[in-house]
A and B are shown apart, each in its own frame.
Chain A
Amino acid sequence: MNIEILGITVLWVFLFGYILIGAIDFGAGFFNAYSLFTGRQRILTNVIQRYLSPVWEVTNVFLVFFFVGIIGFFPKTAFYYGTTLLVPVSFAIILLAVRGSYYAFETYGARGHKGYSFAYGSTGLLLPASLSIVLTISEGGFIEIVNGQPVLDYWKLFTSPLTWSIVVLSIAATLYISSAFLTWYANKAGDHEATHLLRKYALIWAFPTIIAAGGIIFELRKHNPLHYESIQTFWPLFLISLVLFLGTIYLIWRQRHYGVAFSLLMGQFVFAFFGYGASHYPYLLYPYLTIYDSFTNQAMAVALIIAFICGLLLLIPSLYLLLRMFLFNKEYVKGNENHHA
């Protein structure tokens, strides 16, 4: 394995981490607002807030880590993506700001403020959409080079079926991942009502997720034949992903082993996400930018990888501690203790 692939793999892992915990976070916010709207707040709010409050900042770091890392390993991405993504990413920052401030403001100040909860909930749907634009653009065809500067063609972007398939997938997957996780969490907390409701959501959102995923592969056939061909060669990964998906649905349907169901779901997304990533190789932005011509110099790459390993040695035990204190702490999960500052 060469160092370029190592670099992009590291970043891909972190992006996956963000997508997974981000999806739980985004979806939870949406379900929270939705339950407020339909008068079922009593059922869901406790479960959701108990899980999310201690980890909101950590979720954000995964994103920061990814974008700092990609500029570090692949500085040319700043040139191509920087100028063209000004508008969509600025919107994403503003949405993130609403989310970031929510837990602190809600917990310590404006408890139960309805308007804020709705704003927060709707960002849960808008954020996956605005961030997934980056994935759409990376398929090529939306950026042109004018006078040596990259320019994004918004008309083309917003009229492309590919764009909308990816948007639908990101939203459906967010709600699916989130409800499946929260079903497990609510079940652990012994909250049967919430478990029941969330289980229903998980089953509802499973199908749009898988249909949109299939749709994207279909769209790519026209949009980027090279990528489509490459996806074919990785078919076993996508097949495993599908099997895991069916396994998750089966377990949730039969109302048993929610923990196993969620691990299968993680497996499903791991295979699909890494299959997608591998088939994208070697392009960061088709056809202008590959991981080879944008890679940083050797000295920096080595320094970054050393820093990365040292950082992980520090982070993994800390993350484990965080999970043990909150996610896997029976007393905390059941809400028997609520000793925040």
Chain B
Amino acid sequence: MDPVLYSRILTELTLSFHIIYATIGVGVPLMIMLAQWVGIKKNDEHYILLARRWARGFVITVAVGVVTGTAIGLQLSLLWPNFMELAGNVIALPLFMETFAFFFEAIFLGIYLYTWDRFENQKKHFLLLIPVALGASFSAVFITIVNAFMNAPQGFNLVNGELINVNPLVAMFNPAMPTKVAHVVGTAYMTSAFLLAAIAAFRLLRGSNHVYHKKALYLTLKVGFIFSVSAVLVGDLSGKYLAEYQPEKLAAAEWHFETEENAPLILYGVLDDGEVKYAIKIPYALSILAHGSLSAEVVGLDQFPEEDIPPLYIHYLFDIMVTIGMTLMMLSAIYWIGMWRRWSFVESRLFRWLIVAGGPLVFISLEAGWWLAEVGRQPWILRNIMRTSEGATTSGQVPTMLVLFALLYLVLGVGSVVVLRRMFIRNPVEQEIKDRQQERGGDIR
């Protein structure tokens, strides 16, 4: 049994599961905050109710996010002890700060959730959401900084296996950090927005035609559009970062074998014995993506020794990520313009089904993006410093643990879906509005 391989599989499994919940954990507080804010501004109870119902579902995802986050936090040291021993010297600061951000969020989330209706003034309650959203976003920022460091380690000198001249801030502000952080946080907002939009669209298709869902759809798709535009812009900057600092990742993702000027961008296609077939070639596009100029030279895979080249299947992941991202951006743009110009087809069943499809698709895009980023830095765990195989544990029990954790995630995944479904189906929004009307004496419709 090869502990390196199994450590990789277990880490990938844990992270792939965790990012679903973690991304919701970063994005949804912002959406709740926006809904609460709009509700206060417009004095519209529907938005307040929207915030409340989102918050209720959010609790379930937070619970799973917290426990899987604890799992990956410990697994870093359990599965990659040699890596953590080395990297801990340089990158402990953002890891430490991440726990503070998480702490901050945890405290205020507890207060927020258990003080509904305790304040006469909704604005006070809204104030509690600010630290929740800030804490959530900043944990993403700090943990992404750690990941960025693994792609572009700096802030220390390694002399004969000894670490000297460590500078924690230089390590944090590494070249990969700005694009990574912006992309991770932006796409987390985007993902959550499209997820919530899909739910609203689904309710509209399935029986309910309540204005509550229409308001939800309008708000979420607007936010979704804004952050998908930011994802595209930052994605372009990420390409330029890669060309400059990690050319082997870019070259592998784009199947750019030979160094050349006027480089075309390859979209789709399959790789068959080293030959690209059925691909769409966009002339000059890779030169533009990499250096912002039609004629720029782009480094190809021919410049790297075989053992430093990441697996070439990451090209497919790139295609999936970009295609879905672009599609969702178009979809939300059409919806936005359509609502403004009163095109009726954006309220048709077909269009709503497309929005529903956006929910799962945006998560596929999220996973593909992370796999692209992570597999793209193989065979390094710390680029140019430590190979993945040198960082892993030597324990023989990793395969057993892999089975145990797979079972755990299965239970958590199924459990969270069952609880969420039950929660909302048993208490549809119409029922809740009626209940609140009775409580309050009918001040909402």
Contact = CB atoms under 8 A, between A and B. Distances in A.
A304 B169 CA distance: 11
A153 interface: no
Interface string A314-325: 110011011001
Contacts of B86: 75
A53 B393 contact: no
B106 A60 contact: yes
B78 interface: yes
Contact of B88 (A97, A108, A109, A296): A296
A296 B68 contact: no
A44 B190 CA distance: 44
Contacts, number: 228
B106 A297 contact: no
Interface in B67-120: 67-71, 73-75, 77-82, 84-90, 92-93, 95-100, 102-104, 106-118
* Max chain A C-beta neighbours (<10 A), residue from B55, B79, B110, B116: B110
A185 interface: no
B210 interface: no
A79 B79 CA distance: 10
A57 B70 CA distance: 11
Contacts of B78: 82-83, 85-86, 89-90
Interface residues of A, number: 67
A315 B103 CA distance: 8
Contact of B96 (A69, A75, A105, A315): A69
Chain A, interface SS category: helix
B336 to A, nearest CB: 30
B60 A68 contact: no
Contact of A110 (B71, B103, B419): B419
B405 interface: yes
A339 B95 contact: no
A307 B100 contact: yes
A68 B95 CA distance: 7
Given A105-B63, A300-B93, A57 B109 contact: yes
A96 B423 contact: no
A208 interface: no
B415 A58 contact: no
Nearest to A108: B423
A311 interface: yes
A300 B90 contact: yes
Interface in A38-85: 53-58, 60-61, 63-65, 67-69, 71-73, 75-85
Q: How extensive is the interface on chain B, given as a class?
A: 35 or more
Given A108-B423, A299-B166, A339-B116, A58 B63 contact: no
B104 A318 contact: yes
A94 interface: yes
B113 A105 contact: no
B323 interface: no
* Max chain A C-beta neighbours (<10 A), residue from B77, B80, B131: B77
Contact of A75 (B85, B93, B394): B85
Contact of A107 (B59, B77, B116, B416): B59
B85 A97 contact: no
B398 interface: yes
Contact of B92 (A72, A83, A90, A103): A72
* Max chain A C-beta neighbours (<10 A), residue from B60, B85, B412: B85
B100 A86 contact: no
11 contacts: A54-B110, A57-B66, A65-B99, A67-B74, A75-B92, A86-B393, A86-B395, A101-B67, A109-B422, A314-B104, A339-B117
Given A101-B415, A104-B62, A107-B59, 8 more contacts: A55-B110, A65-B103, A67-B73, A67-B74, A78-B81, A86-B79, A101-B63, A300-B92
